[in-house]
Amino acid sequence: MKKTALLCAGGTGGHLFPAQALAHELTSRGWNVHLATDERGTRYSEKFQVEGLHVIASATFGSKNPVAMAKSALTLFKGYSASKTLIKKLGVDVAIGFGGYPSIPPMVAAQRLGLPTVLHEQNAVLGRANKLLAKKAMAVAAGFSSESLPPDTVITGNPLREEVLIIAKRLDQSETPYKKSVGQGPFHLLVVGGSQGAQYFGETIPKAVVLLPKELRKRIRLTLQARAEQVDDVTTLLSEHNVSAEVAPFFDGMGARLERAHLIISRAGASTVSEIAAMGRPSILVPYPYALDHDQAANAAELVARGGGTVVPQSQLTAPVLANHLASAITQPDMLTKQAHAAAMTGQPQATEQLADMVAAVLEKG
């Protein structure tokens, strides 16, 4: 008889991409898989290999206003009640939480119903939702090692999107997984920042690129994630300085873009750092400075410690400073090759299989 798993995740890519990878793996093993998320998660529905995607009511206590708090509590209770009904209807055997406040109602419901639960924390610091759920979880897995995690946490790495995983495994078997840019050849610069980083990168990256000497500037093939309202101005500025660039708020085919990159500039979100490591690509990481738990700096720690990349605080990364970093990178291809090799040493492409094995083992224990 097929086992049924309920994956519970917040509606952002950082929570949903690992859930998507596990859904694919469990389905390939013959499981029935369902996803519980919020309205935001429906944007990714076409990419999920699940029997059903279920939108669950959820809320945070972001305000201390009594009325607002009461509304949030009522919404959470509705989500909890709906989750209990859903779990019974689907015959769920095990629930897996990937963090984010929308994971709380279905995961609490599963725990209250006596079902085995597993948590996966993408970051090196346990998020607030997972921290709340950890005491009653039968197992906790994480993407990065950290002393702040519960003592029995298993470091599996972060499950990777299938398009990234396929390329990462191919590169792992290649004699030249990183092909450096030499001579006057094109230098592919990939800049991604997610919803929280795109505005800063959209302002700073173009200014830095146009400060480069003409002979370096003409080699750059820039892929830049920027906010929609920035795209026209950024495109015009780069065009005026003859910089070959693709600027957009969102890009498909990230696996191929990561593979092509000679250097990546990015926030240090869990999924991004894991994909950079799996691909073995040098990077300049700029942790999001306003994160409550400073999780992004912790995510980057091992990769940087091994020499796989550089972390620069946003407050220090002005356009002239970044231009100097870029000039050094473009003119020192051997340095980037060493960083690429070091980055690959921190990659864990087996994360999805290991997490799926954990889920199966927890279910066997009951």
| Residue-level pLDDT at 198 | 75
| Residue-level pLDDT at 197 | 59
CATH code, domain with 231: 3.40.50.2000
* DSSP structure class, residue 262: S
Give me the number of domains the chain comprises.
2
Q: Are residues 297 and 230 in the same domain?
A: yes
Q: Helix H segments across the chain?
A: 13-28, 66-90, 104-112, 128-133, 162-172, 194-211, 214-217, 231-240, 254-260, 270-279, 295-305, 319-331, 333-344, 351-365
pTM for the whole structure? 0.88
Question: What ranges make up the beta strands (E) of 150-282?
Answer: 154-155, 187-192, 220-225, 244-248, 263-266
Q: Are residues 203 and 153 in the same domain?
A: no
Q: Are residues 254 and 140 in the same domain?
A: no
> For residue 183, what are the contacts with CB-CB under 8 A and spacing of at least 6?
none
d(CA 216, CA 353): 43
| Residue-level pLDDT at 148 | 85
* DSSP structure class, residue 82: H
Q: Are residues 230 and 128 in the same domain?
A: no
| Residue-level pLDDT at 366 | 72
The model's pLDDT over 141-173, given as tens digits with 9 standing for 90+, comes to: 999 988 889 999 999 999 998 889 999 999 989
Q: How confident is the model at residue 257 (pLDDT cuts 50, 70, 90)?
A: very high
Q: Are residues 30 and 148 in the same domain?
A: yes
| Residue-level pLDDT at 349 | 83
Q: Are residues 258 and 360 in the same domain?
A: no
| Look-up of token digits 């101005």 | 233
- Express as a percent the part of the chain with pLDDT over 70: 99
> For residue 328, what are the contacts with CB-CB under 8 A and spacing of at least 6?
335
- Express as a percent the part of the chain with pLDDT over 90: 77
Q: Are residues 178 and 210 in the same domain?
A: yes
Is pLDDT at 298 greater than 80 in this prediction?
yes
- Name the residue range of residue 308's domain: 168-344
Q: How confident is the model at residue 58 (pLDDT cuts 50, 70, 90)?
A: confident
What average pLDDT is seen over the chain? 92
| Residue-level pLDDT at 189 | 98
| Residue-level pLDDT at 179 | 96
Q: Are residues 223 and 330 in the same domain?
A: yes
Higher pLDDT, 330 or 60: 330
Is pLDDT at 258 greater than 80 in this prediction?
yes
| Residue-level pLDDT at 195 | 61
d(CA 222, CA 326): 12
Tokens of 66: 């009594």
Is pLDDT at 196 greater than 70 in this prediction?
no
Q: Are residues 259 and 307 in the same domain?
A: yes
| Residue-level pLDDT at 231 | 94
Give the lowest-confidence range in 58-67, 90-99, 116-125, 222-231: 58-67
| Residue-level pLDDT at 6 | 98
d(CA 156, CA 133): 19
